């Protein structure tokens, strides 16, 4: 059953790639308005990525727009045969890192202070909760937690855990080998885990 659904997923992705390239060729032939189809298709993913990376809705909204404009301007450099979504993620990843570098890095509070203030909510988010009623609050908490990771670790965690890219796609976006993806992912996860260790230790001792 799982294998069938996996194959269906691969097929869906391949079809998506074929559709994308058709639209892109149309745009390159002069049909500017066809780009709205691309924006509509990838809007949620790009905005979600920007929000997870930048943890500020206004910055994320602007960044997502800029990413689509950059992609449009570079569309003639997109190579048919590769996946448009990974190409777009690559632009998004580079753009968000730029935004983070330009933005002030001053943290308003330390990680310890955040845990002190929001500890119970963080614990509920990771350990006890399955609740989806407080989705907005949880989203805010997640982006806040992610913002305490160095941008290098944050990029790969968001691409893997929020955007659910495969190792192969990650290698394409980050322009590195699969082994490098595994190593980078392991380091980033270790960092996030160590930040949350306190809650898991408490849970284990309960």
Cβ atoms of 50 and 97 within 8 Å: the answer is no
Residue 182 is a binding residue for other proteins (CB under 8 A): yes
Candidate segments 12-20, 37-45, 80-88, 108-116, binder of other proteins by CB under 8 A? 37-45
> What string of DSSP letters covers 19-52?
HHHHHHHHHHTT-GGGHHHHHHHHHHHHHHHHHH
Rounded to a whole number of angstroms, the minimum distance from the CB of residue 96 to other proteins is 13
Residue 43 is a binding residue for other proteins (CB under 8 A): yes
Residue 202 is a binding residue for other proteins (CB under 8 A): no
Give the residue, chosen from 48, 97, 152, 191, that forms a contact with other proteins under the rule CB under 8 A.
48
Identify the DSSP state of 74: T
Q: How far is CA 10 from CA 5, 13, 97, 150, in A?
A: 9, 5, 30, 32
User: 152-170: buried (b, 16+ CB within 10 Å) or exposed (e) per residue?
Assistant: ebbbbbbbbbbbebeeebb
The residue among 19 and 66 lying less far from other proteins, judged by its C-beta, is 66
- Applying CB under 8 A, the residues found at the interface with other proteins are 30, 32-33, 35-36, 39-40, 43-45, 47-48, 51-52, 61, 64-65, 68-69, 72, 125-127, 129, 132, 135, 138-139, 142-143, 157, 160-162, 164, 166-167, 182, 185-186, 189, 192-193, 196, 200, 204
């Amino acid at each position: 059953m799982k294998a069938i659904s996996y194959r269906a997923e691969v097929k869906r992705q391949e079809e998506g790639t074929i559709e994308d390239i058709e639209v892109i060729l149309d745009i390159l032939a002069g049909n500017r308005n066809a780009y709205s189809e691309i924006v509509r298709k990838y809007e949620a993913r790009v905005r979600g990525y920007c929000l997870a990376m930048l943890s500020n809705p206004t910055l994320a909204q602007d960044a997502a727009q800029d990413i689509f404009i950059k992609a449009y301007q570079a569309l003639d450099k997109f190579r048919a045969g590769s996946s448009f979504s990974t190409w777009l993620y690559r632009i998004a990843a580079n753009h968000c890192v730029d935004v983070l570098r330009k933005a002030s890095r001053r943290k308003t509070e330390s990680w310890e202070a955040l845990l002190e203030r929001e500890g119970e909510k963080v614990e509920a988010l990771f350990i006890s909760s399955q609740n989806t009623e407080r989705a907005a609050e949880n989203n805010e908490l997640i982006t806040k937690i992610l913002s305490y990771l160095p941008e290098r670790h944050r990029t790969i965690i968001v691409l893997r855990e929020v955007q659910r890219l495969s190792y192969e796609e990650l290698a394409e976006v980050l322009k590195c080998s699969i082994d490098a993806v595994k190593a980078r992912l392991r380091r980033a996860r270790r960092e996030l885990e160590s930040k949350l260790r306190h809650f898991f230790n408490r849970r284990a001792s309960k």
